Structure 1
Amino acid sequence: MGFFSRKTSKQTSRVKKLLKLALARLATARRPRLARKSISRGDVSQLLVLGHLERALQRSEQVIEEDNMLQAFDIVEFYCKLLIEHAAQLDKPQECGEEIREAAAGIMFAARWCGDLPELPLARTIPADKFGNDVVVAAKEGSGIVGPMLVWKLSGDKTNMELKKKVTKEVAADSNILVDFSELQEEAEHDDNGNSSHC
């Protein structure tokens, strides 16, 4: 029995170490994404100035992608800190509260989406062993106990037209540019009526 206690304790300290490394790497991982988001927003603004609304909407997908990943990093950071702080509870998974279970499932889910954080795939195996198949399946599918905001930020549809319009409007407002999406509606209706579209 003592052997298993030591093993579990060793696993827990390994998880803590990996999560601390992931936390340290987060600062580095954020920098290029912040830069890409800024460049993409600048591109959207420039395209709007030039009157290329459709291209601006397409470019806004990159803004959405970078912004989603940055927000996912914030959630992952919170989960890492929570699991590090309450690591002792991982030794008794059956006694863990919902918050700890959600954090563990969130880390397991994020591991396959966050290539910027190579520690997560290594860290996920230990909570997977401790919490069992139900949590592993939920984490894999991004359902049940996994936080829906994290799931959306990592796997949501970045090509959603309403979301692209929202981001484009925000960029336009920041740059004092007026945007009229009714032109796009008219073009779409024009195309639906069998007329050829011109790029």
Structure 2
Amino acid sequence: MGFFNRKTSKQTSRVKKLLKLALSRLTIARRPRLARKSISLNDVGQLLILGHFDRAIRRVEQVIEEDNMLLALDIIELYCKRLIEHVAKFDKPKDSSEDIRKAVAGIMFAARWCGDLPELLVARDLLADKFGSVFTTNAKKGTGNVDPMLVWKLSGDKTNMELKKKVTKDIAIENNILMDFLELQ
């Protein structure tokens, strides 16, 4: 009986180490995304000034994509921190609170979308052993306990024309660019 408990605690400590490593890698993963978002915002502003509304709307897709990923990385960071704090609860997954289950499901879902964080894939496999196949299958699909906001940020439609128009208008207003918003119709 003691052998099985030690195996579980080794897995638990490994998950904790992986999540800590993912946390440190998150700061590195944010930098290029912030740079791309900033460049894209400037590009959209310049295109609006020049009157290239169609090109500005196409370029705004990059802004939306980077913004969504940055927000998703913030959610993942919160989940990693929460799981590190409550790592002892992994030994009894059935007794875990809804908050912990939601964080585990979010990490499992995000693992396939975040190539910048390979630790999440390994952590997902270890967590799958603890939480079971049904929980894991639902988490990978983005159903069950997974936060719908995280699902939308990682896999949402970035080509939605209404969203692109709204973001383009916001960028124009933010940069004090006078433009005819009827052009965006």
**Is the shorter-chain TM-score for this pair beyond 0.5, marking a shared fold?**
yes
**Greater RCO, CA 8 A, separation 6+:** 2
Match of 1:54 in 2: 54
Paired residues of 2:169 and 2:181 also in contact (CA < 8 A): no
Q: Which segment drifts farther, 27-36 or 132-141?
A: 132-141
Match of 2:105 in 1: 105
Taking the aligned partners of 1:62 and 1:21, their CA distance within structure 2 comes to: 28
Q: Which segment drifts farther, 133-142 or 17-26?
A: 133-142
Q: Over residues 61-98 of structure 1, what are the superposed CA-to-partner deviations in whole Å (9 max), with x where a residue is unaligned?
A: 00000000000000000000011000000000010011
Match of 2:121 in 1: 121
Secondary structure, aligned partner of 2:180: coil
Percent identity, please: 73
Q: Over residues 113-149 of structure 1, what are the superposed CA-to-partner deviations in whole Å (9 max), with x where a residue is unaligned?
A: 0111111111111111111122111111101210001
Q: Which segment drifts farther, 66-75 or 161-170?
A: 161-170
Q: Kindly indicate whether residue 176 of structure 2 is the aligned counterpart of residue 176 of structure 1.
A: yes
Bigger Rg, which one: 1
Taking the aligned partners of 1:104 and 1:89, their CA distance within structure 2 comes to: 11
Q: Over residues 36-56 of structure 1, what are the superposed CA-to-partner deviations in whole Å (9 max), with x where a residue is unaligned?
A: 000000010010011010110
Taking the aligned partners of 2:184 and 2:73, their CA distance within structure 1 comes to: 34
Aligned pairs (5 A) from 1:12-27: 12-27=12-27
Paired residues of 2:19 and 2:120 also in contact (CA < 8 A): yes
Structure 1 residue ranges, 4+ long, deviating more than 6 angstroms after superposition: none
Opposite residue 155 of structure 1, the aligned amino acid is S
Paired residues of 2:53 and 2:183 also in contact (CA < 8 A): no
Secondary structure, aligned partner of 2:8: helix
Taking the aligned partners of 2:182 and 2:43, their CA distance within structure 1 comes to: 22
Tell me the matched-pair count. Answer: 185
Opposite residue 172 of structure 2, the aligned amino acid is A
Taking the aligned partners of 1:77 and 1:184, their CA distance within structure 2 comes to: 36
Paired residues of 2:165 and 2:184 also in contact (CA < 8 A): no
How far 1:184 sits from its partner (Å)?
A: 4.3
Q: Which TM-score applies when normalising by structure 2? A: 0.97
Taking the aligned partners of 1:111 and 1:139, their CA distance within structure 2 comes to: 10
Taking the aligned partners of 2:120 and 2:179, their CA distance within structure 1 comes to: 41
Q: Which segment drifts farther, 167-176 or 4-13?
A: 167-176
Match of 1:137 in 2: 137
Shift in alpha-carbon separation, 1:184–1:27, aligned structure 2, 3 A: closer
How far 1:183 sits from its partner (Å)?
A: 2.8
Match of 1:70 in 2: 70
Taking the aligned partners of 1:113 and 1:163, their CA distance within structure 2 comes to: 22
**Structure 2 residues without counterparts, runs of 5 or longer:** none
Match of 2:35 in 1: 35
Taking the aligned partners of 1:124 and 1:130, their CA distance within structure 2 comes to: 10
